[in-house]
Amino acid sequence: MKSFYFLFVFIFLSIGIMNAQISLVPNAAVTAGSTTVNHYAFGQCGTNYGNFSGSDTEELYTYTATADVPCASLNLDPATQFTGVFVFENALPTSTADACLTSAYSGVFGNTDPVTANFAMTNGTTYYFVVTSEGEGDVNFDIDLDIPTLGMPFVVMSSPASPIEVADGTTLSFYDTGGPTCDYMEDESYEMTICPDAAAVAANKIVQLEFTEFDINNTCETNTSLRIYKGTSVVPANEIPIDGKYLNQDFTTDVRIFASIIAGGCMTITFDNPAIAGACEGTGWTGNFTVIDNPCTTTTMADECNIAPLLMTGQELLSTSECFTGGLSACGFGYNNNGWFKFIPTATTVNIGYEITGGNACYTGTGGDDDELPNMTTGIQMLLYEGCGAADQICTSTLTTGGIDVANGVYASGTWDITGLTVGQTYYAMFDGYGTDLCNFKVSGDATVALPIDLTAFSVKEQGKSNVLYWTTASEENTASHIIERSEDGRSFKEIGNIIAAGNSIEVINYSFIDDKPKTISYYRLKTVDFDGSKGYSSIVSIERNPKIFDINSISPNPARGEINVLINSNTSREVTMTLTNIIGEKVLNKQIELNQGEQVETLNISHLTQGVYLVSLTSETESITYKIIKE
């Protein structure tokens, strides 16, 4: 059953008024009810209730919907057999040709079990509920209307005319046609598309669907299907594998996440439940649509061998299998969602760490259990190559026994131990989900994996308003350039500079780079690019600049002949000393000034000074700022 908090509208009626129209009001008093003889005399909804001329007891109730509700539940608890309820919208019937919306009744003789009629509500529509029972006299019963509280914007499975858009930072609940409380019905076939809105598309966002409950009824298992596609149409090549799109599936104890990972970030979902003999209803599903960053923009492994990045000591490389399509058939395995990288060993044995971080079908499970999706074989497989071709392979591939643990959400991790390597040779490695499993993973290099250059030092220092980076190489081989990258969070890096590398060198070379627009906290790394396009990364260094209490933003004009305007910015109100010093250190001006919080201008007359270079300084007990000017 679906796990929701409901707003229960319990309505119990005290009845005894002929032809009464009683409105179901939230939070009404709970009292027992009894009907009086009343008669509408129309057989509705395929039953003859209400069609016993002069011999039925009936009562009428109404409710006007205040919101769209995918599925409300009208519950009847009868005390007498052959008691039922009919639901009409907008008006009561005037003949047997006026079909009701739905109905529920106790049925066989002696059955007084509670019954429920489920139906969708439209905001502003008035619904009429007629309770009827065969026979004259008073009949006791209870009636209540349950309306679920959805809590956030939602959409039910349908076929809208245009895609539904989701904004970044919002969540859109997703239900089967029964909504949060009811089952989907037989003879349903829908196709709908969900997309990021225009702002999210511009930011390279994509749609993600996270199921929290999923149960397709097994009565129609060979005909019922849910399918998910990347993009805006049903294209077989863009179908996202989902174990459980057929048959009886129930992963209410697990979470299944599916992402678009395609230009535009849209996702198309189809649901088909044809009418066949027997009941064809089911609990269905609940889920959430959100907008996330496209993981293909952060994947650092490669889709092809010849552009594989170099794995370095202390570095991690990421793979999102859904982003990859290429592959080889080798060593008895077929590959189709693989991630490539290369490494240069500094010892004959290398230990490469790996961790499975997710994926649409990468998990453990033996199959057949109601609380797990069936799975043939789990884990990832690895293959090692001496070059970029099937003929170059070294068949030391290993199939891991890990995967995602369904019950605990634990991701498998381990170490790939490779022996018998030649020091200094370049090897190519490939990771792939076993079979067609889409496994996302990361790998990490240890001390036995070489850097593309012999980087002996890498540091950063604060210098005035700038940060200066220094690095030293003891040797370089085929290096084309050193690219300086900066980040504010230590994760997302952007290029801020590019310095031509030595190419090939066995001598010590010192490099430096000035970042004249540093952040309060800056993280830096080097990306070394070889002539063949391969690249590698250094470790990350960081620096936090001390925030200045006050500063000289500018002096104008400069050079100057008469007056100069010194623009000062201060974080607090305080007293400082302003001095003007010539090039040999003699003070030609010395005065105290009061700084206010914010910006202010101090004007100095330098017309009497001789031509030359002067230094304007502001000094407090803890800080000093100096600015150079030229007197013409």
Per-residue pLDDT of 142-170, as tens digits, reads 788 888 877 778 898 988 888 999 999 99
Binned at pLDDT 50, 70 and 90, residue 379 comes out as low
Binned at pLDDT 50, 70 and 90, residue 368 comes out as very low
Q: What's this model's pTM, rounded to 2 decimal places?
A: 0.51
Mark which of 444, 474, 497 sits at the end of a domain: 444
pLDDT of residue 246: 40
Asked if residue 242 belongs to a domain, the reply is: yes
Residues 307 and 438 in one domain: yes
Query: CATH number of the domain that 314 lies in?
Result: 2.60.120
Domain range enclosing 127: 6-148
- pLDDT one-digit tens code per residue, 190-249: 999 999 999 999 888 999 888 888 777 655 556 778 888 888 989 887 877 665 444 344
pLDDT of residue 437: 60
Binned at pLDDT 50, 70 and 90, residue 48 comes out as very low
Asked if residue 225 belongs to a domain, the reply is: yes
C-alpha dihedral (167, 171, 172, 174), degrees to nearest 10: 140
In DSSP notation, 216-274 reads E-GGGTTT-EEEEEESSS--GGGBPP-TTSSSSEE-TTS-EEEE--STT--EEEEEEE-
pLDDT of residue 450: 58
Asked if residue 312 belongs to a domain, the reply is: yes
Give the torsion sign (CA, 337, 343, 345, 351). negative
Residues 233 and 164 in one domain: yes
Binned at pLDDT 50, 70 and 90, residue 16 comes out as very low
Which of 346, 349, 445, 330 shows the shortest CA–CA distance to 388? 330
Asked if residue 83 belongs to a domain, the reply is: yes
Residues 366 and 490 in one domain: no
Residues 399 and 312 in one domain: yes
- pLDDT one-digit tens code per residue, 479-532: 889 999 999 887 788 999 999 988 877 678 899 999 998 888 899 988 888 877
Mark which of 148, 170, 193 sits at the end of a domain: 148
- pLDDT one-digit tens code per residue, 79-123: 666 777 888 888 877 766 667 888 887 766 567 788 888 888 889
Is the per-residue pLDDT at 3 higher than 50? Answer: no
Mean pLDDT lowest among 222-236, 262-276, 316-330, 570-584 = 316-330
Mark which of 395, 412, 444 sits at the end of a domain: 444
Residues 563 and 521 in one domain: no
Asked if residue 98 belongs to a domain, the reply is: yes
Asked if residue 265 belongs to a domain, the reply is: yes
Helices and strands: H and E segment counts in the chain: 1, 44
Asked if residue 1 belongs to a domain, the reply is: no
